[in-house]
Amino acid sequence: MPDHPTIYFIRHGETDWNRDRRYQGQQDVPLNETGRTQAQRNGLALRVFLPSIAEATFVASPLGRTRETMQIVRRELGLPADRYDIDPRLMELSYGAWEGTLQDDLAEHDPDGFAARSQDPFRWRPENGESYADLLARVKLWSGAIRQDCVVVSHGGVSRCLQAHLLGLAPELIPELECPQDRVLILSGGAMRWL
């Protein structure tokens, strides 16, 4: 999609649940101090695009960890912290019954689900949750509606889906794509780079 607007994508900073490798999904877990430092780093990194980036659309997932990350990023850019949009299509993948579970405990917590996910990580859906296929459909709807460059603060699953969609990658690769919390992903002209 070479004519697609540029997306400056930031994954929210670290939370205690990220640190502990606990499934968050759509649970509203706050940033920790490491996460706030990561958000500051990403805001500082975006300064190289001033003043033009100030004209971009700024949009975040409605969860608190993304909103706090966005506010920190905007402060680092010298912009009013609270002037950005919220879009529920940018919410993280729902892990349903898995939310709150440590990754290391999954095999014991839900042995059948754990086995099923290993067979098809892209299409598998936890009880009361979403699959990556579901999330990809949601992300495509959001992506198709943007008309100008934007700074996005969202989640790891959304980052993976955007990468696959905008770069033309096989959807089955989505669960394995990189999505660090201390780098800005720039998607532009059918290519990507990390800042």
CATH number, domain of 133, equals: 3.40.50.1240
pLDDT of residue 160: 98
Q: Is residue 167 part of a domain?
A: yes
pLDDT of residue 4: 83
The pLDDT tens digits along the chain (195 residues) read: 447 899 999 999 999 999 999 999 999 999 999 999 999 999 999 999 999 999 999 999 999 999 999 999 999 999 999 999 999 999 999 999 999 999 999 899 899 998 999 999 999 999 999 999 999 999 999 999 999 999 999 999 999 999 999 999 999 999 999 999 999 999 999 999 999
Based on the structure, what is the number of domains in the chain? Answer: 1
Q: Is residue 1 part of a domain?
A: no
Per-residue buried b or exposed e for 85-95, using 16+ beta carbons within 10 Å of the residue's own CB: eeeebbbbbbb
Question: 156: closest CA among 105, 74, 102, 91?
Answer: 91
Q: Is residue 2 part of a domain?
A: no
Instruction: Quote the domain boundaries for residue 133.
Output: 7-194
Residue 144 φ then ψ, to 5°: -70, -15
User: 3-class SS at 25?
Assistant: coil
Query: Could you give the CA distance from residue 188 to residue 145 in angstroms, rounded to a whole number?
Result: 16
Q: Give the active site residues.
A: 12, 92
Cis peptide before 51 (omega within 30 of 0): yes
